[in-house]
Structure 1
Amino acid sequence: MRTILCLLLLCFYVNATHSQFTDSYPIDKEFSFKKTEKREFTYKKNLFTKRIIPVALISAGFLLSTSDFEKSLQQDLRDVVGNDFNTKLDDYTRYAPVVQLYAADILGAQSKSHWFDQTKYLVLSSLISNGTSTLLKKRIHKERPGSYESTHANSFPSGHTTTAFTTATVLYEEYIDTNPILAYSGYAFAIATGSLRMANNAHYLSDVLVGAGIGILSTRLVYHFNYLIDWNPFKKTSGIAFTPQYTGDGIGFYFTKVF
């Protein structure tokens, strides 16, 4: 219960901080009633997409956790896919939005941020989201579904889903204004990751919902406060690309320079 309250208080604090910054802006001399209506509508829309959705996912996950409904749903899902179903595809789909992000940079797609800033936001979002997910796993000690091979009670929340929705939200933030199809496509891989975790009998529905909410909310927070980490030594350079790599055996980096 203490963890739930902390998460909700954090969300309300961010909203209050956002309102304070908004109110501190200087008043436009050409201020009109129509502009007021437009700004109010935009603020409410952003408030819904950036705060309400992840908070709703987290809240629903906590409410459903250990319920008879999710246990029944898990059994029904296994009956559909087969009790011997097992795939490693979800180990890769969680990183698919990262591949999309840097591939779009290499191909010259117009993004919100410089490639270095993208990397910075991606790393910070991942640290926050996965750190939160790991902390909850250690505090809640929820058992995984019966047949999953694990000696640890670390089912809640899903780490794979947390990572998938973190990377998908970074992709969304970078391309929602210039390429909406690309921006939303990352969530297809994120949803597939969460679904496969359940199909593999590795997680329950509540684990996936909370993981998704944490991933989205953590990334929103990083982009909301990006002015606090406004440092980029490569902003004045050109022809340089720096891309993280995941080979299955480890994580590395790919660096290119065009002369």
Structure 2
Amino acid sequence: MKKLHSLDGRAVSILFLFGGVVSVHAQDSLYHTILPDSVVSDNTHHLKLKTLVIPTVLTGTSAICVHNGWLTKQREDIQDKLSAKGEHKVKIDNYLQYTPMLAVYGLNLFGVNGKHKFWDRTGILAMSYATMGILVNGMKYTFKEKRPDTNARNSFPSGHTATAFMCAEFLYQEYKEVSPWIGYSGYLIATATGYLRIYNNRHYLNDVVAGACIGIISTKFAYWLYPKIFTKSKCRHTPFQALGMPFYTNKTLGMNVSMLF
């Protein structure tokens, strides 16, 4: 029994020593937040699945409205109330959709730096645009929904709205830590773009909702994917973190380990 107690004591000491080393390593990785930009943690490249649930559900619900009789009738009633029925059309939405994207480069030009340097930022934007384009055009070809004002069957989803919200999410990711108001302003502009697509009688409400969700998802996906493809980019990765806590109960030795990567 004495030998067993002695062995248990040594084992516990080793576990605590190991736990202390892992804990110190984890704490050291947390201190990266005060080191130069090359190693500062960057949470823009995290993709939490729960953040995709609502956009995905809304896109699916919007798709049901395309060929569902009762929902289609509700959609058309909303269209009558929100649109100008083809009269008094404005063209500002053709340009407004790009405003949040231009704001990212404009702010940087005036010395207000965002999260990423020029080339990484541009690469992420290009990947966002490509993802959004594939999703929007693929769904337009699949659903072939007729536009409110013409016989063209490419209404669902709204490409203008998708672009606007893609750019808004881009602005938000780059500047949310500089100022939340800068990030939120992009969504206000994107919402205005979506409304104008309805006002101009170019899209139904479900087209706009789906476009907004696709735009947001596309940008989130690009931020997550970019550093995985371009591993030598200057994106600031969150370092591996681990915390180990040993325990000893009823002659049972163990280790609780928590990891973030």
Superimposed CA distance per residue, residues 126-162 of structure 1 (whole angstroms, 9 cap, x where no aligned partner): 11101210111111110111xx2x4421000001011
The alpha-carbon deviation at position 63 of structure 1 amounts to: 3.2
Listed as ranges, the matches of 1:167-182 within 5 Å are: 167-182=167-182
The alpha-carbon deviation at position 226 of structure 1 amounts to: 2.3
Superimposed CA distance per residue, residues 187-240 of structure 1 (whole angstroms, 9 cap, x where no aligned partner): 11111111000000000011001111111101101111221224559xxxxxxx
User: 2:66 maps to which residue?
Assistant: 65
Code of the aligned partner of 1:97: P
Structure 1 unmatched runs, 5+: 1-26, 33-41, 234-259
Please tell me whether the aligned partners of residues 155 and 207 of structure 1 are also in contact (alpha carbons under 8 angstroms): yes
- Tell me the matched-pair count: 192
Match of 2:132 among 129, 133, 139: 129
- Distance in 2 (CA, whole Å) between partners of 1:167 and 1:125 is 9
Residue 56 (1) aligns with residue 65 (2): no
- Distance in 2 (CA, whole Å) between partners of 1:131 and 1:52 is 20
Aligned-residue Cα RMSD (Å) equals 2.7
User: 1:98 maps to which residue?
Assistant: 101
- Distance in 1 (CA, whole Å) between partners of 2:224 and 2:77 is 39
Code of the aligned partner of 1:93: L
**What is the aligned-residue identity percentage?**
33
Code of the aligned partner of 2:167: T
Pair 1:89–1:231, CA change in 2 (3 A)? farther
Pair 1:201–1:57, CA change in 2 (3 A)? same
User: 2:23 maps to which residue?
Assistant: 29
Larger radius of gyration: 2
User: 2:196 maps to which residue?
Assistant: 196
- Distance in 2 (CA, whole Å) between partners of 1:49 and 1:94 is 27
Pair 1:28–1:59, CA change in 2 (3 A)? farther
Structure 2 unmatched runs, 5+: 1-20, 28-42, 235-261
SS of aligned partner of 1:29: helix
- Distance in 1 (CA, whole Å) between partners of 2:48 and 2:159 is 26
The alpha-carbon deviation at position 48 of structure 1 amounts to: 7.2
The two structures have a TM-score, normalised by structure 1, of 0.67
Pair 1:53–1:173, CA change in 2 (3 A)? farther
User: 1:114 maps to which residue?
Assistant: 117
Residue 142 (1) aligns with residue 145 (2): yes
User: 1:76 maps to which residue?
Assistant: 81
- Distance in 1 (CA, whole Å) between partners of 2:135 and 2:163 is 11
Please tell me whether the aligned partners of residues 164 and 190 of structure 2 are also in contact (alpha carbons under 8 angstroms): yes
Please tell me whether the aligned partners of residues 85 and 199 of structure 1 are also in contact (alpha carbons under 8 angstroms): no
The two structures have a TM-score, normalised by structure 2, of 0.67
Pair 1:174–1:59, CA change in 2 (3 A)? same
- Distance in 2 (CA, whole Å) between partners of 1:219 and 1:123 is 10
Code of the aligned partner of 2:52: R
Please tell me whether the aligned partners of residues 66 and 143 of structure 2 are also in contact (alpha carbons under 8 angstroms): no
Code of the aligned partner of 2:112: A
The alpha-carbon deviation at position 167 of structure 1 amounts to: 0.9
Higher relative contact order (CA 8 A, sep 6+): 2
The alpha-carbon deviation at position 65 of structure 1 amounts to: 3.1
